[in-house]
């Protein structure tokens, strides 16, 4: 009977960790960044779309050598503009806005090269409420997200589009601070849930929480395990909140390639510690040190979203709160199951072989990010 009782939580915990590793073929799920600047009846747009996604959708690599050259990209400018703009609609209450493609450039994001499509839209009346229809890659990737930032005078509005939320109406004049706060809370929750490297770092540090540090034997006290988790999560939260705030409110920044490489290295070390004790009893300190680095990673996402100048502090707090809510949701599922399974063969395998798998995956990330190469398929 006990074996049957333990079997279900084992499956749940395995599925939880398995789901986290499934999308890990790429650093993060497919996304694009759409910036709209509204002035009366005119909208100036800039759309950053990953070249790897465009190559998959319309085939940019003419010679099939696995490398995209500027000539190959330039020869497909009309195809890129046509494909993207057919999947974007802008409208006001008076009708659809006429969209005209402009120049195209290339930009580097933390996860690779992006096509930068600029365009102009002319609407039938001054834009107070903007209806946006977003269907980019909806038929190819159910996980794709579009991060949209709209500038209207001193006001900044943001939204996240997906195949499930492809049509949204956004009011541009004087958005309430409460609605801005709520939007950034959702942005923070979403980001931590698609930040697989952040999650794997945290889970690697939490796996030993249900064991006695001195002996490695299963803990007899859920209270002791809870406080162990509390110390690790608090240290991580405090650290990344510091650098997230500093990087968002000041010119303080580090090269994105360096940050992403260090984040991958933090996952390697956290997982390795579960196999060869490197910092037994000092996991909260490790969580704090590397949490400072992870905070810069969160800040890069917030920079892509943009912070509204009229509600900067409350939006920053909302994003950080969303990240914490996302983390606590993971902990709330993990800790009870881990404590229940701490004596089982499954948990022993999870601690060693699971950590080895995480370490291997993070090592690939580290090489990819440090040397700007692709080892795994997208």
Query: 282: closest CA among 232, 237, 238?
Result: 232
Alpha carbons 325 and 200: distance in angstroms, whole number: 16
Instruction: Give me the pLDDT at residue 103, please.
Output: 94
| Sequence spans of domains, the chain | 28-171, 177-371
> What string of pLDDT tens digits covers the 378 residues of the chain?
444 434 445 544 554 455 444 444 434 567 899 999 999 999 999 999 999 899 989 998 888 777 888 888 999 999 999 999 999 999 998 999 999 999 999 988 766 789 999 999 999 999 989 999 999 998 888 878 898 989 888 777 888 888 888 999 988 876 667 777 888 898 888 888 777 888 999 999 999 999 876 567 888 889 999 999 999 999 999 999 999 988 888 777 777 788 889 999 999 999 999 999 888 778 999 999 999 999 988 887 777 666 666 667 888 898 899 999 999 999 999 999 999 999 999 999 999 999 999 999 999 989 988 887 767 654
> What is the residue whose two structure tokens read 């050259």?
69
- At residue 167, the 3 state secondary structure works out as strand
Phi, psi of 95 (to 5 degrees): 135, -175
* The CA-based dihedral angle spanning residues 247, 199, 235, 185, taken in that order and rounded to the nearest 10 degrees: 60
Structural contact between residues 208 and 202, judged by C-beta atoms closer than 8 angstroms:
no
DSSP string, 333-369: HHHHHHHHHTTSHHHHHIIIIIHHHHHHHHHHHHHHH
- At residue 28, the 3 state secondary structure works out as coil
**Which H or E element spans position 75?**
helix 70-75
Alpha carbons 241 and 325: distance in angstroms, whole number: 13
Alpha carbons 210 and 335: distance in angstroms, whole number: 8
Phi, psi of 160 (to 5 degrees): -120, 125
Alpha carbons 219 and 163: distance in angstroms, whole number: 44
Per-residue pLDDT tens digits for 119-178 = 999 999 999 899 999 999 988 888 788 989 898 887 778 888 888 889 999 888 766 677
Alpha carbons 196 and 19: distance in angstroms, whole number: 10
Instruction: Give me the pLDDT at residue 181, please.
Output: 85
Phi, psi of 148 (to 5 degrees): -110, 130
Alpha carbons 4 and 93: distance in angstroms, whole number: 59
Per-residue pLDDT tens digits for 233-270 = 999 999 999 999 888 887 777 777 888 899 999 999 99
């Amino acid at each position: 009977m006990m074996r049957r009782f333990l079997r279900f939580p084992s499956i749940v915990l395995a599925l939880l960790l398995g789901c986290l590793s499934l999308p890990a073929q790429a650093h993060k799920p497919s996304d694009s960044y759409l910036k709209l600047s509204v002035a009366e009846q005119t909208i100036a747009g800039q759309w950053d779309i990953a070249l790897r996604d465009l190559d998959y959708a319309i085939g940019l690599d003419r010679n099939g050598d696995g490398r995209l050259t500027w000539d190959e990209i330039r020869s497909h400018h009309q195809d890129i503009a046509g494909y993207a703009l057919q999947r974007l609609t802008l409208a006001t209450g008076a009708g659809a806005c006429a969209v005209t493609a402009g120049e195209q450039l290339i930009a580097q994001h933390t996860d690779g090269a992006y096509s930068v499509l600029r365009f102009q839209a002319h609407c039938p009346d001054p834009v107070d409420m903007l209806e946006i229809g977003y269907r980019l890659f909806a038929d190819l990737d159910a996980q794709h997200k579009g991060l949209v930032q709209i500038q209207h005078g001193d006001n900044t509005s943001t939204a996240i589009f997906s195949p499930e939320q492809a049509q949204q109406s956004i009011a541009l004049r004087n958005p309430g601070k409460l609605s801005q706060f709520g939007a950034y809370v959702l942005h923070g929750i979403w980001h931590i849930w698609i930040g697989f490297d952040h999650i794997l770092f945290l889970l690697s540090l939490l796996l030993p929480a249900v064991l006695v540090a001195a002996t490695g034997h299963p803990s007899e006290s859920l209270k002791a395990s809870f406080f162990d988790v509390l110390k690790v999560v608090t240290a991580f939260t405090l650290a990344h909140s510091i650098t997230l705030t500093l990087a968002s409110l000041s010119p303080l920044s580090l090269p994105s390639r360096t940050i992403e490489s260090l984040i991958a290295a933090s996952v390697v070390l956290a997982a390795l510690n579960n196999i060869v004790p490197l910092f037994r009893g000092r996991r909260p300190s490790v969580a704090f040190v590397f949490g400072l680095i992870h905070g810069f990673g969160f800040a890069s996402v917030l920079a892509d979203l943009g912070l509204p100048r009229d509600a900067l502090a409350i939006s920053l707090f909302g994003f950080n709160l969303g990240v914490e809510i996302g983390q606590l949701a993971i902990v709330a599922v993990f800790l009870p199951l881990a404590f229940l399974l701490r004596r089982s063969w499954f948990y022993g395998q999870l601690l060693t072989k699971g950590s080895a798998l995480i370490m291997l995956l993070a090592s690939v990330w580290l090489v990819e990010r440090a040397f700007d190469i692709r080892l795994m398929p997208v």
